[in-house]
Amino acid sequence: MLRNRNFAIIALIVLVNMLGYGIIIPILYAYSKKYGLSDFQNGLLFASYSICQFLSTPLIGRMSDKYGRRPLLLISIIGTAISFFLTAFAPNAAFLFFARMLDGLTAGNIPVAFAVISDSTKPEERPQAFGLIGAAFNFGFIFGPAIAALTVGFGSGVPFIIAGIITTIAVILTAIYLPETNKHMGEVQSGKLFDLSKLWHTLFDPNVGVTFLISFIFMLAFSCAIIYGFQPFTVNILKISPMENALIFTLFGIVGLITQTFLVSLFSKKFGIEHSFKYSILLSGMALAGMWLSHTLIIFVVIALVLGLFNSIVQTLIPTILSQETDEKSQGSIMGLNSSYQSMGMIVGPIIGGVIATIQIPLTFFVGAVLTVICFALSFRAFKPGVKESAFN
């Protein structure tokens, strides 16, 4: 019963994170325009969250080892709730930036949530537990945009207020029901929080270097074209409303859920992991090129949903491939490194997108397509057998 309660609370925390992210992403560009931000400044606004998340995640994880999971989860969720209310009532652009940075600084609760699952389960129970967390991710990204679509018509700040209320409920439930699960508080080994030299040298590892490079560039392309470029294109070129934008993101999330639940396994069994990975990258690039060339809403949405399908396959297979390219002792380290590379892609991508949008908004999709084709070329250097000696301990 205790474990089931822990699962429920952690799933709620993850769901709240993705609900908030899902609510904000489809409408943030249009919302920030009322503060007079340029496309380049908007790119910086989007990147500010990822920069702060990149900096805070290892610190929050280390502090949860030393001081316990529960207090760090509470602090981080409270920070997220405050950031949503600040966004809703921000009097100027500076407060808007501060709100996004605060959300990023307190977004490190996801690794802590994963640690609670590890604390509360036996090794054989973890696949099912992490599957529950994955489902919470997907449902959050579906219902977050849906909430934005249904409520933005009542006022541009209303979706952020709702996100803040939902997060506050999560704070209360965590405070009341989640026990401390860390049985080894204080037993923390000293080490670097940020080992940038390790990130650089890992790119040249014969087993995993190419896959890490693909992971970084692919996330860079996705962040440039979709996390940032999507909204300026739909708002300024296609002239659709924030509500319609949020509905498209909801459809994108539904396609992702169906793909990750059913189609990845089907494609991998039918075509093999290697071919599924390579050609999903190629088809993602082709979809981005199609979005660059599209001029009507229906064609754009259809192509975006195709991208949602193949992007989900790529994003799901990257950790699968990495897990096969290293030894059993290094699984945690390799997933942490992959998270770091993807975070860097999410930092640089929106900034590049903001710069490109000042030249021509549709070019964000073209640049994303070019970067994705580079990933496709690199994929032919992956899947080479090698001795999987750990370089990550």
Where do the DSSP E strands lie in the chain? none
- Please check the confidence at residue 190 and state whether its pLDDT lies above 60: no
Q: Span 12-19, mean pLDDT?
A: 78
Cβ–Cβ under 8 Å, residues 36 and 90:
no
pTM listed for this prediction = 0.77
Other Cβ atoms within 10 Å of 129 Cβ, number: 21
CATH topology of domain 1-180: Growth Hormone; Chain: A; (1.20.1250)
Lowest mean pLDDT among 46-60, 94-108, 150-164, 300-314: 46-60
C-beta contacts of 148-155 below 8 A and 24+ residues apart: 148/22, 148/23, 148/24, 148/26, 148/27, 148/242, 148/243, 148/246, 148/249, 149/26, 149/243, 149/244, 149/246, 149/247, 149/250, 150/243, 152/27, 152/242, 152/243, 152/246, 153/243
CA angle 318, 258, 104 (to 5 degrees): 55
Q: Do domains 1-180 and 196-383 have the same CATH topology?
A: yes
* pLDDT tens digits, 334-343: 666 777 788 8
Q: What is the pLDDT of residues 195-223, one digit of tens each?
A: 667 667 777 777 778 888 999 999 999 99
* Residues 88, 94, 100, 103, Cα dihedral to 10°: -90
- pLDDT at 77 exceeding the cut of 50: yes
Q: What pLDDT does 193 receive? A: 54
CA dihedral 45, 51, 52, 53 (to 10 degrees): 110
Domain boundaries, the chain: 1-180, 196-383
Instruction: Please give the CATH superfamily to which domain 196-383 belongs.
Output: MFS general substrate transporter like domains (1.20.1250.20)
